Amino acid sequence: MENQQLPEAPITEHLAELRTRLIRIVLALIIGTVIAFTKANYIFELLKQPLLKVNPNLKLYFLSPTEPFFTAFKISFLAGFILVSPFVFYQIWKFIEPALYEHEKKLAVPFVFFTTLFFAIGCLFSFYLVLPIAIGFFINFGNIQLGAEAIFSVKEYISFVLRMILAFGLTFELPVVLSLLARLGLVTPEFLQKARPYFIVIAFIVAAVLTPTPDVFSQLMLAIPLILFYEISIIIAKILYPKSTKYKELQNE
C-alpha cells in the first residue's frame, strides 16, 4: 500500500496549487525582507568585510541620492530570502509531494534540511573564501597592471557581492537535487556518468551566466565546485538509486 500514488490531478488543480505555493513564498519573502531591512545597516557592515580584509583603508561611495536606499533594499531582500529559505524549500516540496508515493513523502524533512544546509554552506563559502580572493585579485590587477587606484560605489560593490553569494548558494544545491532525483528513481547513476561531458560544458555556461563579471577567474571559482558536486552526486546516486521504487519495480519484472 505504501507504494500507491494518488490519481493524477487535473491541470487546473496543479495551477491552483502552484498559485497557493507562490503566494505563500512571496508573503514569506516580504516578511523576511522587512525584518532584514530593520538590520540593513548591520548587514551592510558585514558585507563590507571581504573588501576590508583586502584593504582596511578602502571606502565605499554612493553616487546618487537614491543609491543607499535601493542598496539597502537589495541587501534586505537577499538576507530575507536566506532567513525564510527553509520555508521556501518546504513550499517547493509541498508542490511536488502529490506526485510522490506515500513512502517517498517521508523525504520532506531531509529535503528541507539539506537544501537549507547546502544553500547556507554555499553562501558562507562564497563570503568567507571566494569573495576575499576575487576582490583581492581584481584590486591587485588594477593596481599592478594598470596603475589604477580602487574606488568602489556602494551599488556596484553590493551588487557584485550579492550575486556571488546567491550564485554559490544555488550552485551548492546541485548534489541535493540530483540525490533526490536518484532517490525517486528519476535519474540513474549510469545516466549521470554518460552525461558528464555535457555537464562540464553546462557548468561553464552556468558559471558565465551567474557570475557578475566576465573574467575566467570568477567563472572557474564557480564552475569547479559545480563539477566537483556533480561527481559527488554520481557517488551518492549509486547508493540512493537502488532504494527507489522504480529500481525495485525493474528488479521484480
pLDDT tens digits, 177-221? 998 888 888 888 899 999 999 999 999 888 888 776 666 777 788
Q: Under DSSP, is residue 152 helix (H, G, I), strand (E, B) or coil?
A: strand
The pLDDT score that the predictor gives to residue 249 is 61
Q: Are 96 and 17 in contact (CB under 8 A)?
A: no
The pLDDT score that the predictor gives to residue 103 is 78
Check residues 2 and 126 and name the one with the higher pLDDT.
126
pLDDT tens digits, 122-171? 999 999 988 888 888 778 777 766 667 777 888 889 998 998 899 899 88
| Cα 34 to Cα 134: distance, rounded to the nearest angstrom | 30
The pLDDT score that the predictor gives to residue 96 is 86
Residues 6+ apart with CB under 8 A from 199: 227, 230
pLDDT at 11 over 80: no
- Binning pLDDT at 50, 70 and 90, where does residue 2 land? very low
| Cα 244 to Cα 72: distance, rounded to the nearest angstrom | 46
Q: Are 112 and 86 in contact (CB under 8 A)?
A: yes
| Cα 71 to Cα 77: distance, rounded to the nearest angstrom | 10
pLDDT at 248 over 80: no
The pLDDT score that the predictor gives to residue 108 is 86
Q: Are 207 and 222 in contact (CB under 8 A)?
A: yes
Q: Are 218 and 211 in contact (CB under 8 A)?
A: yes
| Cα 207 to Cα 222: distance, rounded to the nearest angstrom | 6
Nearest one of 114, 63, 124 to 93, comparing CA atoms: 114
| Cα 173 to Cα 122: distance, rounded to the nearest angstrom | 8
Check residues 222 and 45 and name the one with the higher pLDDT.
45
What residue type is assigned to position 35 of the chain?
I
Place of cell 554559490: 168
The pLDDT score that the predictor gives to residue 1 is 43
The pLDDT score that the predictor gives to residue 130 is 86
pLDDT tens digits, 55-71? 888 888 888 888 889 99
